[in-house]
Structure 1
Amino acid sequence: MAIVGKEAISALRGATQEGAGSSERSTFTSLKSGSTFLVKALPLENIAAYDSYGIFKKVNSFEAEKPSIKNARGYATDELTPWDLASKYYQDKANELVEAGKSKEDAEVKPLRTKASEYRSKRKYIVPFIDLESGEVIYIDFTKNQAEAVISVIEKYEEKGRLETTPLELSKTGQKTDTKVSLTATFEEDLSETAAKNFKELTAENVTVNFEGLTFIADEKAQIESLLASGFDVSLIDLEAPEIDPTEAF
């Protein structure tokens, strides 16, 4: 399984740096449950990965300007970000209780483990496709499990040399945590006139993949501010709240 890792992160950052002087900024296309897109998949080399932080309905997702070093399981081990430190704070507290004999599901331990998970980064994958109806490149943000399902299909058709000749349907079904993403082949003869024209004319060679603007990249100050916004006491991890610039209000 050719799950992209460091190479994908490099691709994402490289594209961001190269496009820094450009006014062209891409946006994610929302793949809502019940929706389907007719697409042409692009080669695996166009897929990017990043580590996302954020808390649903509290702090919007962001990428750390200086990402921490992760182990094979995705846990931060060195050069920790403020959010990694917050996660570690709760995990260490939970570990202390477990080492003292409490169960991981204990009423004291479980909330700490939940908090640790909230502040921990989650690996996300950005997969670009050619939208056959609009004729534009769209960018879909996937979780690790969703990406594995999609990437395995792209990989299969790429290995067989059929990526350019197979139109696909990208769909999402289910609700909340019980959602499923699928990428399945469809028939070229069933495409609309517009979709069929785009399918023939648009290829990986003549479209541009631009990751600029897709993720919000937060520096240390912004990360500390977002920790405060989430209700976390940053003094617990030996950090201080950034000083407020009085001129920012003007």
Structure 2
Amino acid sequence: MSIFTKKGSEAVAAATAEKDTKGSAIVSFNGGTTLKVRVKSVEDTAEYYGYGIYNKVNTFVPKQPAERNAKGFITTNPTVWDQAANYYYGLAKETKERGDEKAAEELSKKGYLYKGKPRYLIGLGSLETGENIVVDLTAKQGKTVIAAMQKYAKKLDKVAFELSKTGSSTDTVVTLTPILDMDEDLTDAECVNFAKCGEKPFDFALFDDCLYLADETEQIKNLVVAGFDIGILGLTLGANTQSNATTPDASEPTGAPIEISDADLPF
């Protein structure tokens, strides 16, 4: 098999042809950021379950995600990260039954770190560029923004918004506030882009390129990076990664058996 995919005239044609260089529409939205946007529709959102640990493993989505019911509980096909979460939740349940509430809560918190958590992608129009953009938010942040979008649903074609994130780490707060005096608070270019953003509906296909997909091998590597002993689940990492993990009972919902605060972790 040749290492060359094209030669001669074909190579010249490929080099001079128009390239589709459109990248991901997702934008950086760190603490201290404010974006001026147009909300095209309250429905320009998508929910997904992301995995990761802040400052250790960046958010990813399994290539073969677990099956979930309407309440978000896993019914079949748990990922290796779900199995790691269940390992700690199981220990927490046993520890609680032995009467050690404090230790049980700590174990349950460990399980929560590995658990898939709902997140929201929200599509907007950028007043800086006039193009579609996407922001990635935690469940708490996403629900706050969606509630604000719903509040002003009848005025979306007349009002621009500021989407802001303040704070850092686990103390971030996201707000969506209307710009009431657009003539005063928007530049001429931003006014032009506000109108431009309203010319077309949001393209939902843009969501497809916003998430990082990880296969099982990479998920196992991420468990190691996170500090989890993969041998507990019968997993190994080598030239040929093997997964011999025991699948949890599908009849039991994959949720924490102990009530703990659902910290708004920024991953």
Same fold? TM cut 0.5: yes
Contact 1:25 1:212 in 2 (8 A): no
1:198 corresponds, among 170, 193, 201, to 193
Question: Following TM superposition, by how much is the alpha carbon of 1:70 offset from its aligned partner in structure 2, in angstroms?
Answer: 3.1
Matched, 1:124 2:122: no
1:194–1:207 CA distance, 2 compared to 1 (3 A)? farther
User: C-alpha deviations, 1:105-124, integer Å up to 9, x for none?
Assistant: x2x32332222011101111
Query: 2 CA distance for matches of 1:68 and 1:206?
Result: 31
Aligned-residue sequence identity (percent) comes to 34
The residue aligned with 1:218 is 214
The residue aligned with 2:65 is 67
Q: Give the alignment's TM-score, normalised by structure 1.
A: 0.79
Question: Following TM superposition, by how much is the alpha carbon of 1:238 offset from its aligned partner in structure 2, in angstroms?
Answer: 2.6
Q: Look up the equivalent residue of 2:65 and give its one-letter code.
A: P
Contact 2:131 2:197 in 1 (8 A): no
1:204–1:53 CA distance, 2 compared to 1 (3 A)? farther
Contact 1:63 1:216 in 2 (8 A): yes
User: C-alpha deviations, 1:135-154, integer Å up to 9, x for none?
Assistant: 22221111111111110121
Matched, 1:164 2:162: no
Matches within 5 A, 1:78-157: 78-103=76-101, 106=102, 108-157=103-152
Number of aligned residues? 219
Contact 2:141 2:174 in 1 (8 A): yes
The residue aligned with 1:233 is 229
Question: Following TM superposition, by how much is the alpha carbon of 1:29 offset from its aligned partner in structure 2, in angstroms?
Answer: 1.5
Question: Following TM superposition, by how much is the alpha carbon of 1:26 offset from its aligned partner in structure 2, in angstroms?
Answer: 0.7
The residue aligned with 1:18 is none
Q: Give the alignment's TM-score, normalised by structure 2.
A: 0.74
Query: 2 CA distance for matches of 1:164 and 1:66?
Result: 39
The residue aligned with 1:12 is none
Query: 1 CA distance for matches of 2:142 and 2:199?
Result: 20
User: C-alpha deviations, 1:204-237, integer Å up to 9, x for none?
Assistant: 6266451233111111122112112222222212
CA RMSD of aligned residues (A): 2.2
Q: Gaps (5+ residues) in structure 2?
A: 1-19, 242-267
Query: 1 CA distance for matches of 2:26 and 2:49?
Result: 16
Matched, 1:181 2:177: no
Largest Rg, 1 or 2: 2
Q: Look up the equivalent residue of 2:57 and give its one-letter code.
A: V
Contact 2:40 2:197 in 1 (8 A): no
Query: 1 CA distance for matches of 2:150 and 2:161?
Result: 13
The residue aligned with 1:34 is 32
The residue aligned with 2:47 is 49
Query: 1 CA distance for matches of 2:67 and 2:121?
Result: 20
The residue aligned with 2:15 is none
Query: 2 CA distance for matches of 1:200 and 1:232?
Result: 50
User: C-alpha deviations, 1:3-60, integer Å up to 9, x for none?
Assistant: xxxxxxxxxxxxxxxxxxx753315322233322111012133211111101122212
* 1:211 partner SS: helix
Q: Gaps (5+ residues) in structure 1?
A: 1-21, 246-250
